[in-house]
Structure 1
Amino acid sequence: MNKVTASTCCYCGVGCGVLIEHDGERILDVQGDPNHPANYGRLCSKGSTLHKTGDIAARALYPELRLGKAMGRSRVDWDTAMEHAAQVFGTTIAEHGPDSVAFYISGQLLTEDYYAFNKLARTVVGTNNLDSNSRLCMSSAVVGYKRSLGADAPPCSYEDIELSDCVLIVGSNMAYAHPVLFRRLEQAKAENPDKRIIVIDPRRTNTCEIADLHLALQPGTDVALFHGLLHILLWEGWTDRAFVDGHTQGFDELKSLVRDYTPAMVSSICGIDRDDLQTAARMIGSAPSFLSLWCMGLNQSTAGSAKNNALINLHLATGQIGKPGSGPFSLTGQPNAMGGRETGSLSNLLPGHRDAGNAAHREEVAAYWGVDSVPASPGLSAIELFEAVRVGKVKALWIACTNPAQSMPDQTLVREALQNCPFVVVQEAFGNTETCQFADLLLPAASWGEKEGSVTNSERRISHVRPAITAPGEARADWAIVCDLARRLEKQLRPGQPSLFGFQSPAELFDEFKGLTAGRDLDYSTLSHALIDQLGPQQWPFRAITGHGTARLYTDGHFATDDGRARFVSEPFIPAKEQRDARFSLTLNTGRLRDQWHGMSRTGTAAQLFGHVEQAQLSLHPDEIRSRRLRDGQLVSVRSRRGEIILPVTADEQIRPGQAFIPMHWGDRFLKGLGVNVLTQPAFDPISKQPELKQASISVTPVALPWELYVLVEGDVQQRFEALRPMCEQFAFASFALTGRERPALVMRVAHQSAPDVAVLSTIDRLLGLDEGPVIVYDDARRSIGKRVKIEDGRITAIRLTGETAARDWLHGVWQSGEADAALRRWFLAPLSSPPGGGAVADKTICSCMNVSASRIRAGIESGQDLDGLKQSLGCGTQCGSCVPEIRRMLATSAQPA
């Protein structure tokens, strides 16, 4: 009999509740939890397909150990693996000191996992070299909140999205990155058309579809824009002087600074119209309530801290904080980045929102843990950490639940560091990530649906994560792996002393950690897993006297600073580190796709999630395409000062001329060449240490790769992927994707200067099953064109084209239709490369939830249907709603006169 377990989604920081249907061994389905206050039953396209991801073939199932860099890994038992890890770490610490080892962990860990890592690093090992991939996404927001408000505490709740009269969205394609919250905003706007929405983003993203005003500023100029808005607010008298005088410090200094940021100056710097600047200031200044929402566009910058504080300045100047519908609200990127900040999982932090550089804070934590001291020397942040690994200062590195060989900037140096490190441990649920290839020890970890613990979402709400099934193979919970290592290291480094890691369950870890929040701004010391089960997810601080959490902070105008006053932060606009020049004439921006997540270790196993965007591509404005004499779909070389990748170019009117966009998700698995982050720069904000992943200068030139290979094959998709991927290192360009919904298939596209040896193609044919069975073959040796198609039960199951691949989209469409018709057979047996006239073409999926293609939506529009009619007839937009902005754009385009 099937069961249902309430848990949470493992993707973004919205923290959606999910109901997992399972039979005790397998996860069968997932639905949104209607009782969870983060989403009330809504799920996005990624969350609603969770049960279709995590293919067992992609999982790490057993410990694997490599005894030499030139050797492969071999399966070992857990005791051997952990004893070896403890021996290497212990010896390294004894010979080179505690700072010769480091831990790099993840915003996808549970709070209990985080806490175990923190306690291990600070007590047993004695180092602050513990950082998280949250450094790449949220550390500038942490600095912004602490400098302005005194504590890393987002003061708002999701309900403020509905309550606000004016919503400012900055540097976030909310429609893609946080779609469940975007649905709430979309519905609130429909119910209250007078609600004003301003979007600040260099691109015209889907989020702009509901905006009253889009400010397409030049990348990196946010500080100048915010100062310019404050200049107008002051000029027009739209500030709250009583609030400023009664609850803040530093306003006069800021007034002096922003006096110079006139509309003319800001218009010139930001590349926006002066009237639009005035309109934005009027919307903010005249609104009874004002809410700002932001994400990576502000944070991933060498001026990320200054951008955050300049935005918060607007709220303090207008008194728009601490009341319904108002406040500065950072949208967290990962499911438990907040929990990591709470437990001290950045190298400069300690548990309970304490600072590692604060002696009193160190004493408090040491006393709580019952140790003499915790380390005082500063720890290494992510960029600094991998550079220390590269130059040999860090000699043993433990990586958990993150993929730095895909996600870190300047991949050439990151991979050099991983390759040169004497000992790398990777604790990971998925054994095929880019980072796993560098693991000397691979430890299989439990994943979503298999773990228990807690997470904190963007609105400070703590949820109990419950497991539905046991982890496959010999995978273990992350906290259990950490505690195992800690107990073994204690025997070497703290001999004869009682263990600090006698935890037998995640609840015990939670109960110890929560004491470190007592009396702090995030106090939830009276919560427990059991109480969350009883009361439901709770926002911190949790008041035991009232029995519920706190919806909004600073409602009394008292802030978490020493004197209770918020601080205005006055910092001038400083241009981004890397600017365009004659050699690198385009500014590259990176960001999210609607249906993919981070490095695609999970979403990359679900064919359904490739339907909207199937391959990595460089997006340029059509004018940029024309001026460079490029063709849509043409392969180009994209170079920065750090590296190069080859990928197809596509025209996109959402991007301004002079700019370019590549999705962040593709690394070296799905796109040969180390992925997008071979281009991005490691320069970082001097305070938050967050790198400037959002801006790099690039050049784009066409490449001549006349020989092409196209493959589409059904069945054993992950196994075929793993077999075919290594073969593509010999080619100049290689791209992989999955396709299909009911019949998942692997798609591979390759291009090179010349044809490979016949033996290479023979091996590919064998891996595709094209060396036997009902296979149609056509070879034209003179033209170096080859065709292979396998038809079983009247249906195409495998395709291989070589030489050139002009017919690939047509063949993809024939495969989608499921009918291997006579036209296909005639084409394969004729010396034709282009598809026959009138043939089907591959069709983009607009609605992933209901599998509705672009062609079906266009047909519905041509028949006279509006959005409601399309929803009713096709079902598109009726589930997660992520496709609605794109459908609206299609409707608007069709309504324009020819």
Structure 2
Amino acid sequence: MEIDAAREVRTTCPYCGVGCGVLAKVAADGQVSVRGDPDHPANFGRLCSKGSALAETIGLDGRLVHPEIHDRRTGWNEALDLVASTFSQTIAEHGPDAIAFYVSGQLLTEDYYLANKLMKGFIGSANIDTNSRLCMASSVAGHRRAFGADTVPGTYEDLELADLIVLVGSNLAWCHPVLYQRIAAAREKRPEMKVVLIDPRRTMTSDIADMHLAIAPDGDVALFTGLLAWLGQHNALDRAYITAHTTGFGQALFAASALDLAGVAAATGLSEDELSRFYSLFAATARTVTVYSQGVNQSSSGTDKVNAIINCHLATGRIGKPGTGPFSVTGQPNAMGGREVGGMANMLAAHMEIDDPGHRERVQRFWSAPAIAGKLGLKAVEMFQAVAGGRIKALWIMATNPVDSMPDADAVEAAIKACPFVVVSDVLAGTDTIRHAHVRLPATAWGEKDGTVTNSERRISRQRAFLAAPGEARPDWWIVAEVARRMGFGEAFGHVTPAEIFGEHAALSGFENDGARDFDIGIYAGIDGEEYEALAPFQWPASSRAAQSPRRPEQGARAVRGSSTTRFFANGNFYTSDGKARFIPIRASTDTRTNPDFPLILNTGRIRDHWHTMTRTGKSARLSQHIAEPFVEIHPADAQHHGIGDADIVRISSTRGEVLVRALITPRQRRGSVFAPMHWTDQFAARGRLDTLTAPLVDPVSGQPALKHVAVRIEKFAAKAFGFAVTRHRPEAIAADYWAVARCKGGWRIELAFADDAADWTAFASRLFDASSVEMLAYHDRDTGQHRIAAFDGERLVGALFVAPGPVAVSRGWATEQLEEVHASQRERFRVVAGRAGAERPDAGATVCSCFNVGANQIVAEVAAGCTTVEAIGGALKAGTNCGSCRSEIRAIIQANRVQAAE
């Protein structure tokens, strides 16, 4: 497509479920810059560190740009014909349930819609599931049990209107930074606002918390059933609301009362005093929002956790009103859009249900489909187990990397490798999943594709293209439609633009919908290309019965059942058969997974500057500065017990596998638990695929895996030598027991550890740098085990390697900068070998602010000079003044150094 390089394009960030508006600009020389869209109601111009660095992630290195069959480049016709014919033959021989699609919250709604339509309405199976199953399936199940529909009641505005925000299992500061900044800004205006953080770890989100409850893993059910019982005992219920708008309260209260306060304390690991203070605060604060995320959802009791939270809001009538409600914040940019189109194995399009015959008939009739899925399909974990068992013969994976992200990842990889026919449509040519594909289909990436996404507050926004698609890359919706046509379904898949797909999606949402279904954007059923291009962000519902213009979606929307223009359930009506919300009786249970062989609990999650399996963020040098290698947080007492020192290499083992990561010893971690991030893959680390450790244990209702409660053991990896290297070119192979590679300015940085001391470190360095005909300078002290080697091509550094018997004490920031420096004199070259800057260039320290490349040592120096607030540091160094994601870390550095100065 032709892209006008002179204009600034309004689009939407492709990372988390906040759904921030982005302004992307292409300069005359082709350089792309991004900034937050000040008019987008999700972020009002704010962006996090990842969003701010989007322009650094759109390079074409590593892109898949041509279709391939068995590693052979081919054309689209041959590739698509093979996919369609193989699917058709598989269906003919084994039935429709022998086919499965595993899709992604990275897809746009239009992509998702056609994939779901093809599988459920034309192939005739519900075997389509999504990596959003790993994200928010328990929220979906909890909403449906309580409300009769998968409805998120509130809006982001409620976070600013609330007098109490309860954050449960959500490191909002790192995982949804813009929402965190909105709360922080609201709290500055209203200091009386209270924030409670419920999390086993003292995360960076605790920076704004008045109370941190370091709850035991999976203690949330006990905590919130205990709260419900406490509310009943202390006459803190809204009995009029309960009577008028709910059913099942008596049974829910009886079940919750099974534990007294002492029992709740034992189940949660909290003191009775902590519980009483939290319960009293909740009871006394009418405007309360409970925000929850993966710490709730990614659990074998995730759905019960969701309903335990919802029960407390229903019991106090705190739902549907400004500044109130349970609020699920999703992890992916279009997890909500996938829910809207029925992109999960237990859902139909437009929030209709597979197990409802009337819904099935309606969707089949609307699509004029030859078949409709008659039963629930296989959820993600079940799907890959079916692949392993041979029941799934053909698998299509779209825009996701399950070899790294699924639990029991080694078994998932083995299943994919053994599957008779695997299709992967993706952006990159070298993910850990796509290497096992028989057919590889090049898809367009963010900046190239065109469509819509829905964020966590039900706001639909446009992603718009501002770059031309490279090579033969095509939109995912086009790929799906072409396969469908070749399978004989051309009449139903004749779409030529995403606007046509969106219009059909909107029409289905309003089809025979008299307000009985929550999802309704029927007013857009007749949208044309011009209106679609100009589409402004809007929240659903947007019913066809509303008197409003498609260009101005927020004005005059008619309230459908249970909704206002922005909040659902303001009128107390729900989507159940009698219009009343359901209390769900829940009893807290104890689930002990540890044992003497695996005595610790592993909690998995995200870090601030990386995303999923780093297929996008791994391209940015800036985003790799903050944390450049896989790590495990360990409480000091646990580290001492296991003989682990700070920065040691640690082996984490479970019954499923083992990984090697760096030790980070911190009292912010709960004793008896460890935390490790899930981002590292075989592309970035030797043995860092964390989900090789996790078991395929799922919530019995939602099918969501329990990724935050894994029994493990830890032990020190007996390294004889440690290394750190910088190199201009990424090495193809690294002969080390432990390695982690990250992009830096001018090249790559590599962390290393070895079980044995190399006989010839200079030869190792030469192989690592892939250097020939260069000048090598080396320093060896075999008595102390210190080795430093640098290679120069003229005045430019090709690579440098630093080796020591313990973790290497070299400034990483300074060393990476040397790849871009000119080293004209021998003195400058020997300085590289020495591994330290001169007095005129002090070490900045570990990166804290990625936006402005500010290190910890620089912040410490400013504190010593008298800067004792985050604002003062921002004025001196700019740190924390852009996305604000690092403000909590800056504050922690200030506090630590003020304490040291006082001592």
TM category (shorter chain) comes to over 0.9
- Does the 8 A contact of 2:814 with 2:837 survive in 1? no
Q: Which residue of 2 aligns with 1:845?
A: 847
Q: Does 1:167 align with 2:165?
A: yes
Match of 1:438 among 436, 439, 448: 436
Paired with 1:762 and 1:22, the residues of 2 have a C-alpha distance of: 45
Match of 1:525 among 504, 522, 525: 522
Q: Relative to structure 2, which stretch is displaced further, 548-557 or 162-171?
A: 548-557
Identity of aligned residues (%): 39
Q: Which residue of 2 aligns with 1:570?
A: 585
After TM superposition, the structure 1 = structure 2 runs for residues 178-193 of structure 1, keeping only pairs within 5 Å, are 178-193=176-191
Q: Which residue of 2 aligns with 1:40?
A: 44
Q: Which residue of 1 aligns with 2:560?
A: none
Q: 1:840 to 1:432 in 2, by over 3 A?
A: farther
Q: Deviations over 1:811-845 (max 9, x none)?
A: 7534537586877755788xx99999999667211
Q: 1:802 to 1:844 in 2, by over 3 A?
A: closer
After TM superposition, the structure 1 = structure 2 runs for residues 271-310 of structure 1, keeping only pairs within 5 Å, are 271-310=269-308
Q: Does 1:560 align with 2:564?
A: no
SS at match of 1:108: coil
Match of 1:455 among 453, 456, 459: 453
SS at match of 1:642: coil
Q: Which residue of 1 aligns with 2:635?
A: 621
After TM superposition, the structure 1 = structure 2 runs for residues 134-533 of structure 1, keeping only pairs within 5 Å, are 134-490=132-488, 499-518=491-510, 519=513, 520-527=517-524, 528=527, 530-531=530-531
SS at match of 2:664: strand
Q: Relative to structure 2, which stretch is displaced further, 786-795 or 76-85?
A: 786-795
- Does the 8 A contact of 1:106 with 1:133 survive in 2? yes
Match of 2:14 among 1, 10, 22: 10
Q: Does 1:690 align with 2:704?
A: yes
Paired with 2:253 and 2:786, the residues of 1 have a C-alpha distance of: 70
Q: CA deviation at 1:277?
A: 1.1
5+ unaligned residues in a row in structure 2: which ranges? 555-564
Q: Relative to structure 2, which stretch is displaced further, 105-114 or 799-808?
A: 799-808
Q: Which residue of 2 aligns with 1:789?
A: 790
After TM superposition, the structure 1 = structure 2 runs for residues 675-686 of structure 1, keeping only pairs within 5 Å, are 675-686=689-700
Paired with 2:80 and 2:221, the residues of 1 have a C-alpha distance of: 49
SS at match of 1:878: coil
Q: Which residue of 1 aligns with 2:863?
A: 861
Q: Which residue of 2 aligns with 1:661?
A: 675
- Does the 8 A contact of 1:411 with 1:674 survive in 2? no
Q: 1:295 to 1:608 in 2, by over 3 A?
A: same
Q: Does 1:673 align with 2:687?
A: yes
Q: 1:650 to 1:94 in 2, by over 3 A?
A: same
Q: Does 1:536 align with 2:528?
A: no
Match of 1:751 among 753, 756, 770: 753
Q: CA deviation at 1:895?
A: 2.5
Q: Does 1:612 align with 2:634?
A: no
Q: CA deviation at 1:764?
A: 6.3
Q: CA deviation at 1:255?
A: 1.4
- Does the 8 A contact of 1:807 with 1:834 survive in 2? no
Q: What letter is aligned with 1:426?
A: V
Q: Deviations over 1:674-714 (max 9, x none)?
A: 51111112100011000001110110111223144432113
Paired with 2:402 and 2:411, the residues of 1 have a C-alpha distance of: 11
Q: Which residue of 1 aligns with 2:743?
A: 738
Match of 1:59 among 63, 88, 100: 63
Q: Relative to structure 2, which stretch is displaced further, 317-326 or 388-397?
A: 388-397
Q: Which residue of 2 aligns with 1:648?
A: 662
- Does the 8 A contact of 1:53 with 1:605 survive in 2? yes
Q: CA deviation at 1:615?
A: 1.0
- Does the 8 A contact of 2:643 with 2:715 survive in 1? no
- Does the 8 A contact of 2:287 with 2:318 survive in 1? yes
- Does the 8 A contact of 2:784 with 2:805 survive in 1? no
- Does the 8 A contact of 1:20 with 1:27 survive in 2? no
- Does the 8 A contact of 1:795 with 1:815 survive in 2? no
Paired with 1:413 and 1:51, the residues of 2 have a C-alpha distance of: 36
Q: Deviations over 1:229-276 (max 9, x none)?
A: 112111221110000000000001111112222211111110112122
Q: CA deviation at 1:58?
A: 2.1
Q: Relative to structure 2, which stretch is displaced further, 514-523 or 196-205?
A: 514-523
Paired with 1:833 and 1:179, the residues of 2 have a C-alpha distance of: 36
- Does the 8 A contact of 1:667 with 1:677 survive in 2? no
Paired with 1:415 and 1:842, the residues of 2 have a C-alpha distance of: 41
Q: CA deviation at 1:288?
A: 2.6
Q: 1:128 to 1:27 in 2, by over 3 A?
A: farther
Q: 1:823 to 1:308 in 2, by over 3 A?
A: farther
After TM superposition, the structure 1 = structure 2 runs for residues 36-115 of structure 1, keeping only pairs within 5 Å, are 36-66=40-70, 73-115=71-113
Paired with 2:179 and 2:152, the residues of 1 have a C-alpha distance of: 16
Paired with 2:807 and 2:599, the residues of 1 have a C-alpha distance of: 31
Q: Which residue of 1 aligns with 2:897?
A: 894
Q: Deviations over 1:757-782 (max 9, x none)?
A: 97x98586256253223332456789
Paired with 1:744 and 1:324, the residues of 2 have a C-alpha distance of: 50
- Does the 8 A contact of 1:131 with 1:346 survive in 2? yes
Q: CA deviation at 1:668?
A: 2.1
Q: Does 1:590 align with 2:592?
A: no
Q: CA deviation at 1:580?
A: 1.6
SS at match of 1:56: coil
SS at match of 1:388: helix
Q: What letter is aligned with 1:571?
A: I
- Does the 8 A contact of 1:89 with 1:101 survive in 2? yes
Paired with 1:301 and 1:469, the residues of 2 have a C-alpha distance of: 40
Paired with 1:113 and 1:811, the residues of 2 have a C-alpha distance of: 42
Q: 1:798 to 1:335 in 2, by over 3 A?
A: same
Q: 1:644 to 1:149 in 2, by over 3 A?
A: same
Q: 1:779 to 1:91 in 2, by over 3 A?
A: farther
Q: What letter is aligned with 1:735?
A: A
- Does the 8 A contact of 1:432 with 1:601 survive in 2? no
Q: What letter is aligned with 1:557?
A: G
- Does the 8 A contact of 2:200 with 2:214 survive in 1? yes
Q: Deviations over 1:424-450 (max 9, x none)?
A: 111001222211111111111001011
Paired with 1:828 and 1:164, the residues of 2 have a C-alpha distance of: 54
Q: 1:835 to 1:885 in 2, by over 3 A?
A: closer
Q: CA deviation at 1:115?
A: 0.6
Paired residues in the alignment total 870
Q: 1:443 to 1:755 in 2, by over 3 A?
A: farther
- Does the 8 A contact of 2:837 with 2:843 survive in 1? no
- Does the 8 A contact of 1:44 with 1:882 survive in 2? yes
Paired with 2:375 and 2:538, the residues of 1 have a C-alpha distance of: 35
SS at match of 1:265: helix
Q: 1:181 to 1:746 in 2, by over 3 A?
A: same
Q: CA deviation at 1:464?
A: 1.8
SS at match of 2:675: strand
